[in-house]
Chain A
Amino acid sequence: MAEGSSGILDAVRQRQYGDADPERIAEDLAALGRAPITPLDEEDLLEQFLTRLQVNKVDLEVAASKPEAVKRIARFIYGEYNSHRVVAGNDRRLAALPWRDGGVLVRFGAAASEDPVSISYARFGIAETGSVVLYCNRDNPAANNWLTRDHIVILEYRDLVASLEDAWTGIRADSDEQGLPRGVTVVSGPSSTGDIVGHLVKGAHGPLRLRIIFLGHIPEEVLARTGFESTPL
């Protein structure tokens, strides 16, 4: 064997057009610039995000405060499962929520197959695609994203960004500081499949429902325009 690559790299070098000068490669790459996308205005951010959530069939609740967020979660799991129990990762932001006051019993750790509801804290929300960015790491075990029937994600208004690239700017900063997490995932809806005669069915292998608890304020008219309703607590 010529080297670890079984000669594949040698073959590539012989066939490729480029001259393998790393400096030139870096220059060429930089010159390619960013993907051409239409930038979003600050005021369109929320509306775009909500419009996309609607398309992606994501459920949404708005909470003005952290205690309210917990109360809304409590009401949801009690209504759906007649239970107070959820599983959540070791995210400090999750640990700091007033769970007991809101009537939620949290097990901190990785979800097991029997857990019906998991809770994650989004690193970012992306208006362009109606997505939330979640890491797969100690703070948010990957199982919590995919094993339960209901996945609840808390998103703070200040973490909402316009585009996929904007989210990545933040992800790079995080990685530079804490190292690259095992997984970075952009979640844009509940698990779904169209594999049986193109019939779209939710809950293929992962969660049947994705519920975003939005921490912040969304004007009534934006909710109305995007087809959401504000639900009183």
Chain B
Amino acid sequence: MSRDHKPHVGFFVSCLADLFRPSVAFGAIELLEAAGCQVEVPEAQTCCGQPGYNSGAVDDARPLAQRVIEAFAGFPYVVAPSGSCAGMIKHHYPKLFAEYPEWHARATDLAQRTWEVTSFLVEVMDYAPTVSPLQGRKVTYHDSCAGLRELGIKQQPRKLLERAGVELAEMQATEVCCGFGGTFCAKMPDLSEKMVDDKLNNALDTGAGVLLGGDLGCLLNIAGRARRRDSQLEVRHVVEVLADELAGPAIGEGER
């Protein structure tokens, strides 16, 4: 493949990776480049608008969606390291502009070009990552709701992990919500606590030392609860493992 034919990817960082976990964004870019893409990060990006959209502040979300649509115009592929951000763009942007024909067309166009990173690596690039240092450790995987149900992301991260030599110990109820739910976890902390405890207990029951997932919202929630319970479970984004970005502390861990 000549350099000119490299798929051109506009990378959507996602606000949580930007602020909490830059290694996820760097790792994703590294993987995309290793898979043969030419990656660009538009600087005029902040947030996809999900917090406002999901909590009912639709009018505050719409201008953010317009910024994203503008910032990513022209990229044949837009890739995000998050099922919920990609789901927001793919599924909810068109709904957000149902009554604005011009923007609706642009939103639909963007939706068709947008991918979550693991599904892009598997379905478009058929990428095989190098063997991970996690090989031989007991690892479990949490399926994030938006990725799973809006984008059908289930086998893609598992395929990549398998190619990287990581074997998964699947937990019970892996497809059940971890209790994050955006503002839900702050609005209804008691119910959220119950749900994240269930998730954590199911993960620990597998005997796994590491929990991976594809959405930082869930992972911050699970890791935050694990720390509060003094659990040693190591929580990381799947991209960190695939790109071998494992030098720093896991989510919520102090510096060693």
Do A and B contact each other directly (Cβ–Cβ < 8 Å)?
no
Q: Give the interface of B toward A (CB within 8 A).
A: none
